[in-house]
Amino acid sequence: MEPYIGMKLIEAEPCPAWKDAGNHKTGDPGYRVQYPDGYISWSPKDVFERAYLPVSVNPHLRTDAPSISQTMVEDFISEVHTVTIGDKCTVVRAVLRNGFEIVESSACVSPENYDEALGQKICLEKIKDKVWMLLGFLLQTAVHGIQEVNHET
């Protein structure tokens, strides 16, 4: 057998285990999971929460499909580290929930105008744009898979 990575959009709700299975006993915390084909299974809470990111439907959009929200983007950033390099450059390193790191920088022309807080704000906006794109890619893959999709041009 070979290892595979995959993503899919599923529906789930918190649900204790309904029978003993392996290391899990009746009543252990977990999730009832329903797959797109209707198959239903149970997943232990820690395993489920490591594998799935909750998404929601934005009522302000013209679709009932799940979407990425600003809150999701902000919550996906778990750590932010900021340093000043020289006398006019800010570097920000953001660590995401999955351990991935994004680094951005900003600088001004004159050291007299340097403001680390403003540099951090500029860098964080760039980082959030990248996280938005990465989460959008993740959701697109979960909804449509990795096979070629026909597009009208």
pTM, entire model: 0.84
Work out how many domains the chain is built from and give that number.
2
Radius of gyration for the alpha carbons in the chain, expressed in angstroms and rounded:
21
Report how far residue 108's alpha carbon sits from residue 28's, in angstroms, rounded to the nearest whole number: 55
Instruction: Write down the pLDDT at residue 64.
Output: 86
In-domain check, residue 130 = yes
Instruction: Say whether both 43 and 74 belong to one domain.
Output: no
Is pLDDT above 70 for 153?
A: no
Domain residues for the domain of 99 are 70-144
Instruction: Say whether both 99 and 127 belong to one domain.
Output: yes
Count Cβ neighbours within 10 Å for each residue of 97-131 and write b for 16 or more, e otherwise: eeeeebebebebeeeeebeeeebbebbbebbbeeb
Tens-digit pLDDT profile for residues 90-148:
999 999 999 999 999 999 999 999 999 999 999 999 999 999 999 999 999 988 888 77
Instruction: Say whether both 129 and 93 belong to one domain.
Output: yes
In-domain check, residue 93 = yes
pLDDT-based confidence at 84, cuts 50/70/90?
A: very high
Instruction: Say whether both 132 and 76 belong to one domain.
Output: yes
